[in-house]
Amino acid sequence: MRLARAVVIGALVLAASSSASASASAALPARSPISHVIEIMLENHTFDDLFAHFPGARGVGLGTTLPSPSPGGPAVAPLSAGANQGEVQAGLNNSRAAELAMMDRRGAHFAMDGYTRYPGEGLSAITTFGASVAPNLWSLARSFELADANFQSVIGPSLPNTLAAVSGTNDGWTSNAEPPAGLAWRSIFDELSAKHLRSAFYSGVPAWVYANTVWQKVLAPHQRVAPLSALYRALGTGQLPAFSFVRPGVGYSEEPPEDIGEGDAWLGQLVHAIGHSPAWSSTAVFITYDEGGGFWDGVSPPPSSGYGTRTPMVIVSPYARRGVFHEMTTNLSVLSYLDALFHLAPLSPLQARQNDLARAFDVHQHPLAMPRLPVVPARTVAFFGASPLSDPPAEMPGRPFHLLVVEQSPALSPVASSTVLHLSLTAPPGLAVPASFPRRLALHDGRGELSAVLFRPGYYRLTASAPGVLGDLTLDVGVGPNTP
């Protein structure tokens, strides 16, 4: 079945089934065992990009093709990333104008077939990653629940979608630039504060990064961005807030060109800590992605919804119904779940229309235990460019490149160690790893510098390991939108 026809049929079925479910959500029980909600928001991936072939989910069908990136060329099928690749080049375009063009409206529906032809997208936009790159995410989806009809609430980039996720609306703002000063941004943090319930925004980047930004308005009065170390302390002491909103640090967000495996290892560390904390028996965890990041997804949003591409949502809780949750949701549904749980009013008319995820839970079932996750290192290795707030730049063949390498705790704070890392490099198919590439790197006070030269273009995957220590990095060497 050709893509355009498959998308239209799939969207008609999806719209018919999920519009009813969104307006008739089951009520949460009067006394729910859940009293803590944690949303872990990663960045910039669509559902098909990460879960294209997940059993039982609406993924990529056999025979799916998209137009060639080259004019007049043959149709192309979505690509499965190889062992040399944990991400794609950073040129993907996720602006509102670009997303609208790539989604390609055809009447009431979007054909979802403009991604390979849009400048800077090409094969990068249809590269898919699975369990081999994101083992913890897939393990959690298999052990608990995966929502396969979760759509971006805003067609646009990260900031408006993140603001909508905590405020119930993007207030008409669709850019990553700082919004105008006149917008109020009443948020879930304000609502919970008014009910005398604690909430927190935990971030893996320093709090000063948020100074003089819109987040000073989004947070409740006297509330500040907290470090991830505060979240780990709260888990250990049984002082977890009613709602925790969690964002990772540089190198761990999974936004291209950051390696998905690096963010997945951090995700495993955090969810493992939650699952083995006193709060586990009373917690619902939602793993979300702020928006699709310019990656392709094959399912058109429901007609006239204003929603963008599907993004992953994994629901982790002792009371999550195992399997695939097919009802239509957005990340605003987490707000509606909080409303039902804590008897709050919707923050916006858009949020009032959201599925409240009540049917994603069964509070009467025997509570699920946290499974053993496949990749939970004691510490991770982070790779940076010139500073710990910069990603490694794209490299040119034959030119020396330099990386800052830092050993970090699960709270993404540096660890003062003297670790010796084993370095393993996976080259693109048909290429050999240069004999000159370093095989070991000694860290002093938890830091080191790696210098090397790669002479042939392509994606190379670097793994740094030591007992209890792991880090992954995709090196982009002379790559472009159509580098396989």
Q: What is the DSSP letter of 185?
A: -
**Does residue 49 surpass a pLDDT of 90?**
yes
Give residue 24's pLDDT. 40
Per-residue pLDDT reduced to its tens digit, 349-359: 999 999 999 99
CB atoms near residue 247 (< 10 Å)? 20
Distance CA 325, CA 56 (A): 10
Residue written as token pair 């977890």: 240
Res. 91 pLDDT band, cuts 50 70 90? confident
Residue written as token pair 């603001």: 163
**Does residue 261 surpass a pLDDT of 70?**
yes
Per-residue pLDDT reduced to its tens digit, 143-163: 999 999 999 999 999 999 999
Helical ranges in 144-227 per DSSP H: 158-167, 188-194, 215-218
Give residue 108's pLDDT. 87
**Does residue 3 surpass a pLDDT of 80?**
no
Omega before 74 within 30 of 0, i.e. cis = no
Q: How far is CA 61 from CA 46, 54, 128, in A?
A: 16, 11, 13
**Does residue 21 surpass a pLDDT of 60?**
no
Give residue 27's pLDDT. 62
Distance CA 284, CA 39 (A): 8
Per-residue pLDDT reduced to its tens digit, 447-457: 999 999 999 99
* β-strands 145-147, 313-316 pairing: antiparallel
Cβ atoms of 279 and 69 within 8 Å: the answer is no
Give residue 283's pLDDT. 98
Give residue 26's pLDDT. 57
In degrees, to the nearest 5, what angle opens at C-alpha 183 toward C-alphas 178 and 189? 90
Give residue 164's pLDDT. 98
Give residue 184's pLDDT. 86
Q: Which residues pair with 406 in a beta bridge?
A: 382, 447
Distance CA 105, CA 467 (A): 51
Residue written as token pair 């500073």: 387
182 vs 92, residue with greater confidence: 92
Closest CA to 393 of 305, 314, 473, 288: 473
**Does residue 15 surpass a pLDDT of 70?**
no
The residue-averaged pLDDT of 50-61 equals 97
| Phi (first) and psi of residue 142, to 5 degrees | -75, -35
Type of residue at 49: D
Q: Which domains does the chain have, with CATH numbers?
A: 3-360 (3.40.720.10), 379-477 (2.60.40.10)
- Whole-model pTM? 0.94
- Sign of CA pseudo-dihedral 334, 340, 341, 346: positive
